[in-house]
Amino acid sequence: MICAPIIEQDIEMMVKSANLANSDLIELRLDYLNNFAGLKRIESINKPKIITCMPEWEGGLFCGTERERAEILLESLKFCGSTDYVSVELKTGKNFLNEVASAAKARKIKVIISHHDFEKTPGIEEILKIIGLEKQAGADIAKVAFTPKNYGDVLTVLSVLNNNLKIPVIAISMGELGKISRVAGLLMGSYLTFASLGKGKESAGGQMSVDEVRAALKFFKN
């Protein structure tokens, strides 16, 4: 699946962009919003969505308290259903994780638990350990994203997908060096890949556009 991040600052523009997106699903980056009034508008989005509000300490924009962030996610989940997801960080406090995960699962919303490392790529055993911790924390889908120093690091992340994983995994090698993982990951069994709606709409370095990812997948599958 191809997921397009929506990084608008206004809820109405976020909903409009989501409904026009040519991806399989969308990720609502609530941390980009200027304010959080009108979250009920989320229910008018016509495709599967991932709800997330990434804090500054995990590469996002949200700078409020963890209680405020939890309340934003909990309010948003009221307008989601069984085809949707919520994404929270493994480094989040246990009470926060449990509260959001419980609210999500009560509505049959799937839980993605993520880990981002903006400095390095650890070895395979360490990555598998992180995925295990995400599963233990209540993830339905585990997400790991690492920063490569060389193409060997990119291969390390991709090779994780060849293991006998007990949970669906999203595996990403970030930045320009890791760009190939955005396509290769899908071909190797990554649960989804993130791709932008166009130039200037990227939520992370190395993201290709939805059209570019589709073209690459078509090329390799034919």
Q: Which sequence positions are flagged as catalytic?
A: 116, 143
Which among 139, 154, 142, 152 is positioned nearest to 185, based on CA atoms?
Answer: 154
What tokens does 141 get? 């889908």
What are the counts of helices (DSSP H) followed by strands (DSSP E) for the chain? 7, 8
Please answer whether residues 61 and 54 qualify as being in contact, where contact means their C-beta atoms are separated by less than 8 angstroms: yes
State phi, psi for 4 to the nearest 5 degrees: -100, 120
Which run of H or E residues covers position 159? helix 151-159
Q: How many other CB atoms are found less than 10 A from the CB of residue 67?
A: 9
End-to-end CA distance of the chain: 18
What tokens does 118 get? 């903006």
Please answer whether residues 10 and 33 qualify as being in contact, where contact means their C-beta atoms are separated by less than 8 angstroms: yes
